[in-house]
């Protein structure tokens, strides 16, 4: 049949009908169409509502955190406020033998120093500047203010309503904190300021340049140097106090050579009056009564001991050792409260010493950390208590209880001889690929974690291979790495009897052997140059099947179904079709303008770790991006999280994301909601309309015409309304992604199309009932047509050319020849 146009006279009748509908139509229909209704339902992310967001993120929420390098401590009463990795952690020290974390808050970057005053902690963050945290409830610390626009932030001192913030490379910055919610920079001084003390209107600063500088800060906006003195070696900590009686003022300085005591009574005439040398580097100092407590770091050049030294400084000119406890630790700070000294050890955590008898120091408890996690593996769904096993660059292993994702707990640890580069868990055993961390070989470990609190070495197999990756499948362990420069190594070990592993196969290939994944009878290796596919159907004789160059540096690969996802460093994410392992081809790519270092796949999502380098400082920060890969040819970003220190590994289980980044971050991919309503063209609600958002996602509009889908995964959806005999505008809504806000959509239900037979000798009539509450009648007199056909009147919102429109309303009018 052919479609024919009606005569213009008929069109005029229709136009008149349309005008009548607009004049007598219903309420704010256009407003409803364009979404002015339903905005109260939109729920915004609580961090994005905050006036002081700490992290840039969308659809990914921080759930929990633990670990990182220990940097700082301040003690008040029974609580220690510590900077460990990115968190300000509150430790209950009421039992010095068993320090316990009771609260924490995660801040940007690394928390380098902390000071306590009036239920507030002021934290110096290397990426976040000055952060102010309310700790009035130790179990629930929360940020109240910040000043990020600082040149650096490594050390901090509080005095007279000001925070003095500095770092070893300078400068010293003076911040007005009279309003903690809104700190303001008021002055600065260019000079090394790793150690800071302020006494009355004078600031004393030391640093890696080995000098003591004295500044007049009577006017904080314009500090003026009034004195200086060479200490002779880098100095990182300083305490200033008045002498006994009227005997002046002294500075007690921890330097690489030991304790130096300086008479600072006259800033113009400074002099060292007393000294006490330590075998290691003195990194921190504090005073109590007439005793100086020195935190010392082992001198790695000479082997000089680290530890805690207690020195009698009653006579500043003649300091005398009271006692010490030596070890190989690298203590960096010390605080004293009551009968305990608290020492910060970057790789181990917070060590508590009993100093009730200063002449006989005794070790008490320790709050342990893992400073620099490199790789993560998860216990899986069968474990009675979920846990993560973490390989740390400090040559150690950590076991973290994940039963409470918001409060992960370190429950076990073990030192290793080599640096773990990859690890996988099978049953009670962890298989670890390791090397020396400097390009040299190591071997692979077998660790028994049947008792998570006490991981035990069950075997170590030295190797000439620089191991980088490990995968487990079918009773075999598959290791990859390199023999030498650009000579990849692939080894297969029979682990059917974990206590007696047996090497069964090996293969060399061109590349580096970074990571490995097993699917069916093939191993997929990210080899630096690209993706390498190895046939492993015969474990004793693995065969290289195919490879593809990704034109970048392939650091990691993940496999799912017919596709491999390659983290290709500066060239982003590459998606490769592996449906035929012998014929690989590129499907698509995504380049975020950052360096993609790792990728993990779970369900319909790819999780990317990305590295951004700050050109000014060379500092590395990391992103997490989440991509919908349900269509591998068109991956779409659905969420991201920015705020990590340098991230090294990622693992995903049940929509929970675990990131190794200066500690363990626990994150969760958010869900979203779609809601809306169905109305008639006059705005009246339409109940009982079926709404579909995909398979197993159906609902029906309620009495008010509303519908809602809650808790749906992020991604793209097509909404389709249906009610027998009716059409809708729009007929379907296609959405590329779900935004961080609730999506709201309004459908307008139109009356059914009316049809009639029109012939040259007979009149015809069309009726549309209920459109904007009006009845529309269109009459066709005899002789209106020159041929016999079927005429149809179809209500729509936008004309497609067959009808006329007014204020957004139109009808498609057509005659089809019989």
SS3 assignment for 632-695: CCCCEEEEEEEEECCCCEEEEECCEEEEECCCEEEEEECEEEEEEEEEECCCCECCCCEEECCC
CATH homologous superfamily, domain 194-347? YVTN repeat-like/Quinoprotein amine dehydrogenase (2.130.10.10)
Name the token pair of 648.
């090294």
- CA distances to 38, 328, 681, 713 from 716, in Å: 21, 56, 28, 9
Q: Which two tokens stand for residue 23?
A: 């004049």
Are 194-347 and 373-596+651-658 equal in CATH topology?
yes
What's the confidence (pLDDT) of residue 769?
61
Q: For 456, list phi and psi in degrees, rounded to 5.
A: -120, 140
Distance (Å, whole) CA 202 – CA 218: 7
Asked whether the beta carbons of 177 and 161 are under 8 A apart, the reply is: yes
| Residue segments in the chain with a per-residue pLDDT below the cut of 70 | 1-55, 245-246, 614-618, 733-743, 768-776, 795-812, 817-818
For residue 165, what pLDDT is reported? 98
- In CATH terms, is domain 671-750 a member of 2.60.40.1120? yes
- Residues paired with residue 111 on neighbouring β-strands, in sequence order: 125
pLDDT score for 92: 98
The tokens of 328 are what?
């190989």
Cα-based angle 16, 19, 21 (whole degrees, multiple of 5): 115
CB atoms within 10 A of CB 775: 10
Q: Write b or e for each residue in 377-397: b if 16 or more Cβ atoms lie within 10 A of its Cβ, otherwise e.
A: bbbeeeeeebbbbbbbbbbbb
Residue 103 neighbours by CB under 8 Å, 6+ apart:
89, 90, 135, 137, 138, 139, 140, 141
Check if the beta carbon of residue 408 is closer than 8 Å to that of residue 66: yes
Q: Where are the domains of the chain?
A: 3-31+755-817, 194-347, 373-596+651-658, 671-750
Q: Assess whether the previous peptide bond of 330 is cis (omega < 30° from 0).
A: no
Alpha-carbon span 264 to 251, nearest angstrom: 7
- Between CA 733 and CA 756 the distance in angstroms is 32
In the chain, the N- to C-terminal Cα span, in Å, equals: 7
- Identify the pLDDT of residue 42: 21
Which neighbouring-strand residues pair with 363? Answer: 353
What is the reported pTM?
A: 0.82
Q: How far is CA 527 from CA 205, 443, 523, 635, in A?
A: 50, 19, 12, 24
CA 175 to CA 150: how far, in whole Å? Answer: 10
Residue with tokens 């040559």: 395
Cα separation, 210 vs 231, in Å, equals 5
Phi-psi region of 551 (alpha: psi -120 to 50; beta: other; left: phi over 0): left
DSSP code of 303?
T
- Residue of 247, 255, 251, 264 lying closest to 299 (CA atoms): 255
pLDDT of residue 730: 79
Neighbours of 196 (CB within 10 A): 26
Q: Distance (Å, rounded) from C-alpha 158 to C-alpha 641?
A: 33
- CA-based nearest residue to 393, from 347, 457, 342, 350: 347
- 373-596+651-658 to CATH, choices 3.40.640.10, 2.40.110.10, 2.130.10.10, 2.60.40.1120: 2.130.10.10
Q: How far apart are CA 97 and CA 77, in angstroms?
A: 16
């Amino acid at each position: 049949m052919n479609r024919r146009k009606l005569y213009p006279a008929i069109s005029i009748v229709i136009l008149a009908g349309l005008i009548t509908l607009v004049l007598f139509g219903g309420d704010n229909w256009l407003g409803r169409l364009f979404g002015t209704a339903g905005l109260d339902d939109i729920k915004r992310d609580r961090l994005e509502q905050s006036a002081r967001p700490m992290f840039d993120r969308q659809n990914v929420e921080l759930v929990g955190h633990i670990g990182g390098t220990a940097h700082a401590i301040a003690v008040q009463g029974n609580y220690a406020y510590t900077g460990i990795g990115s968190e300000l952690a509150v430790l209950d020290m009421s039992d010095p033998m068993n320090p316990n974390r009771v609260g924490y808050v995660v801040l940007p970057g690394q928390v380098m120093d902390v000071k306590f005053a009036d239920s507030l902690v002021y934290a110096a963050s290397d990426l976040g500047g000055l952060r102010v945290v309310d700790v009035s409830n130790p179990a629930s610390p929360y940020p109240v203010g910040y000043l990020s626009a600082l040149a650096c932030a490594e050390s901090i001192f509080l005095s007279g309503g000001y925070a003095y913030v500095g770092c070893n490379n300078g400068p010293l910055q003076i911040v007005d904190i009279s309003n903690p919610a809104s700190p303001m920079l008021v002055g600065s001084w260019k000079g090394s300021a790793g150690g800071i003390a302020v006494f009355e209107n004078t600031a004393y600063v030391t640093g890696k340049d080995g000098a003591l500088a004295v500044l007049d800060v009577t006017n904080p906006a314009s500090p003026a140097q009034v004195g200086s003195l060479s200490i002779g070696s880098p100095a990182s900590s300083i305490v200033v106090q008045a002498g006994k009686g009227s005997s002046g003022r002294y500075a007690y300085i921890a330097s690489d050579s030991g304790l130096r005591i300086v008479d600072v009574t006259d800033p113009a005439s400074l002099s060292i009056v007393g000294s006490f040398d330590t075998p290691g580097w003195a990194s921190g100092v504090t005073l109590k009564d007439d005793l100086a407590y020195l935190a010392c770091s082992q001198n790695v050049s000479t082997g000089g001991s680290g530890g805690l030294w207690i020195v009698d400084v009653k006579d500043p000119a003649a300091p005398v050792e009271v006692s010490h406890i030596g070890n190989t630790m690298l203590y960096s700070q010390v605080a004293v409260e009551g009968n305990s000294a608290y020492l910060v050890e970057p790789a181990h955590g917070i060590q508590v010493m009993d100093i009730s008898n200063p002449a006989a120091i005794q070790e008490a408890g320790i709050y342990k950390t893992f400073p620099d996690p490199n790789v993560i593996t998860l216990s899986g769904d069968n474990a009675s208590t979920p846990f993560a096993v973490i390989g740390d660059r400090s040559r150690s292993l950590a076991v973290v209880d994940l039963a409470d994702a918001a409060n992960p707990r370190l429950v076990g640890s073990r030192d290793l001889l080599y640096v773990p580069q990859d690890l996988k868990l099978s049953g009670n055993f962890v298989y670890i690929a390791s090397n020396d961390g400097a390009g040299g070989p190591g071997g692979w470990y077998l660790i028994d974690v049947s008792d998570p609190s006490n991981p035990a070495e069950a075997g170590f197999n030295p190797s000439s291979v620089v191991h980088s990756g490990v995968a487990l499948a079918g009773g075999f362990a598959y290791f990859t790495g390199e023999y030498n420069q650009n000579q990849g190594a692939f080894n297969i070990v029979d682990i059917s009897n974990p206590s007696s592993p047996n090497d069964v196969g090996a293969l060399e290939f061109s590349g580096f052997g970074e990571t490995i994944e097993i699917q069916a009878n093939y191993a997929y290796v990210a080899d630096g140059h690209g993706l390498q596919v190895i046939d492993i159907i015969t474990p004793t004789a693995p065969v290289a099947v195919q490879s593809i160059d990704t034109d970048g540096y392939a650091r990691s690969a993940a496999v799912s179904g017919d596709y491999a996802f390659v983290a290709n460093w500066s060239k982003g994410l590459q998606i490769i079709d592996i449906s035929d392992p012998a014929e690989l081809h590129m499907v698509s790519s995504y380049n975020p303008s950052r360096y993609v270092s790792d990728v993990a796949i779970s369900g319909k999502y790819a999780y990317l770790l990305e590295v951004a380098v700050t050109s000014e400082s060379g500092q590395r920060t990391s992103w997490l991006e989440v991509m919908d890969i349900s269509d591998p040819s068109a991956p779409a970003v659905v969420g991201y999280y920015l705020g990590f220190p340098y991230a090294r590994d990622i693992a995903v289980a049940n929509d929970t994301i675990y990131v190794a980044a200066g500690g363990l971050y626990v994150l969760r991919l958010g869900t979203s909601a779609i809601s809306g309503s169905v109305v008639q063209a006059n705005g009246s609600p339409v109940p009982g309309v079926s709404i579909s958002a995909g398979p197993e996602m159906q609902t029906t509009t309620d009495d008010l015409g509303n519908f809602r889908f809650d808790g749906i995964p992020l991604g793209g959806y097509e909404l389709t309304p249906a009610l027998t005999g009716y059409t809708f505008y729009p007929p379907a809504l296609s959405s590329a992604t779900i935004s961080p806000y609730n999506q709201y959509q309004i459908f307008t239900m139109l009356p059914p199309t009316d049809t009639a037979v029109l012939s040259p000798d007979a009149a015809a009539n069309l009726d549309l009932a209920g459109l904007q509450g009006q009845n529309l009648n269109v009459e066709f007199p005899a002789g209106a047509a020159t041929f016999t056909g079927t005429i149809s009147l179809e209500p729509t919102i936008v004309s497609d050319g067959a009808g006329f429109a007014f204020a957004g309303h139109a009808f498609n009018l057509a005659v089809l020849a019989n």
